[in-house]
Amino acid sequence: MKMVFRWFAGGYDKITLEQIRQIPGVKGVVTSLLDIPVGEVWPLKRLQALKKEIEDYDLEVEVIESVNIHEDIKLGEKTRDKYIQAYIDTMKNLSQIGVKVICYNFMPVLDWARSDLARPLNDGSKTMAYKHEHILNIDPKNLAHQFDEQSDGFELPGWEPDRLKEMSATIEKYKDITEYQYWKNIKYFLDSVIPYAEEYDIKLAIHPDDPPWQIFGLPRVITSRDNIRKFLDLNKSPYNGITLCTGSLGSNKNNDIPAIVREFSGEGRVHFAHVRNLKFESEKDFYESAHMSQCGSLDLFEIVKALYDTGFTGYIRPDHGRMIWGETGRPGYGLYDRALGVTYLNGLWEAIDKMSRKIKI
């Protein structure tokens, strides 16, 4: 595995590359060009400058998160081919700076959702939380407004202004899209881009829906073991893979994360792993906890062991972290708790690696 750390390029992050390079074991950053509107080609010159900026700190840029999918592709509209071509052109440019994996999602209109971006915990830290009742009863526009107030002035990935401008109208368009049609739209996208992913040697890694169930009446399909199987079967190229996000899939108690890791990593279809923990407060309510198994409801040892046992050679990053030690910043993406996450994950990996070697001898 290769440890990486999410960093928002272009002045969208208060965490610096200098700070990231000092976290032990971090080999590179996961980033994107946030200012390029969805559907436009990422210019090669910008990417070359980005690569240089990152490599000046001895860090790599081999994973992009995300190149967002235009709504017309998700909706299956006639204009989708134009946006698919832009996606292919962006992949080509990314391949020229050595990018190996693109993490993306196929969530309609909205990306992830939480009811609270800064819930105080008993130890004085703050974290993101999800209360299903709150999400059921809120207009998504008001949720966007609430996010705006709680995000400390940072644009949230997945809640970018250009995505939100026409939110109500876009949600309306999904009224006519059945889940069956949505799957067909995903397959159309995959069959169009995967041959180029192969040619450019870039693995595509879809991120599961977060939370992994329907909200606001919109189709959300990358939610479970069975649906991941269905997704991977839509296009069987090894370049069609997944980002295994433990927190997103893990917020459905029926998802057995170590088993899902074993199955899909064992087949070489997990290209990227987001590893974090969460603590259930009831069936569908949870908050994002510190990484350690004893702090949350997921067993991170079993998850890392499943990655190890299946010979995982992809990229891994701590996903969200709490805000600790008085840090302020982009919700979920502070420096300190994520750095602790890196160290914890590296510790688990080293222990499992050395124990496994001893057992073999």
Could you say which residues in the range 170-199 bind Mn ion, by CB under 5 A? none
Least distance between Mn ion and beta carbon 184 (Å): 26
Residue from 90, 319, 322, 332 binding Mn ion (CB under 5 A):
319
Number of residues forming the site for Mn ion (CB under 5 A): 3
Report the alpha-carbon distance of residue 150 to residue 146 in Å, rounded. 6
Least distance between Mn ion and beta carbon 319 (Å): 5
Residue 338: closest CA among 31, 59, 99, 23: 23
Minimum CB distance to Mn ion smaller for 3 or for 47: 3
Name the pairing type of β-strands 270-275 and 240-245.
Answer: parallel
Minimum CB distance to Mn ion smaller for 140 or for 332: 332
Amino acid at 262: R
> Which residues participate in catalysis according to the annotation?
207, 245, 274, 319-320, 333
Least distance between Mn ion and beta carbon 332 (Å): 9
> Is the Cβ–Cβ distance between 128 and 89 less than 8 Å?
no
Report the alpha-carbon distance of residue 305 to residue 253 in Å, rounded. 20
Residue from 47, 109, 117, 245 binding Mn ion (CB under 5 A):
245
Minimum CB distance to Mn ion smaller for 80 or for 274: 274
Instruction: Count CB-CB contacts under 10 A for residue 110.
Output: 21
DSSP string across 232-249:
HHHS--TTEEEEEEHHHH
Q: Can residue 274 be called a binding residue for Mn ion (CB under 5 A)?
A: yes
The mark string for 287-316 relative to Mn ion (x by CB under 5 A, - otherwise) is ------------------------------
> Is the Cβ–Cβ distance between 30 and 63 less than 8 Å?
yes
Minimum CB distance to Mn ion smaller for 42 or for 272: 272
Report the alpha-carbon distance of residue 101 to residue 271 in Å, rounded. 7
Interacting residue ranges for Mn ion, rule: CB under 5 A: 245, 274, 319
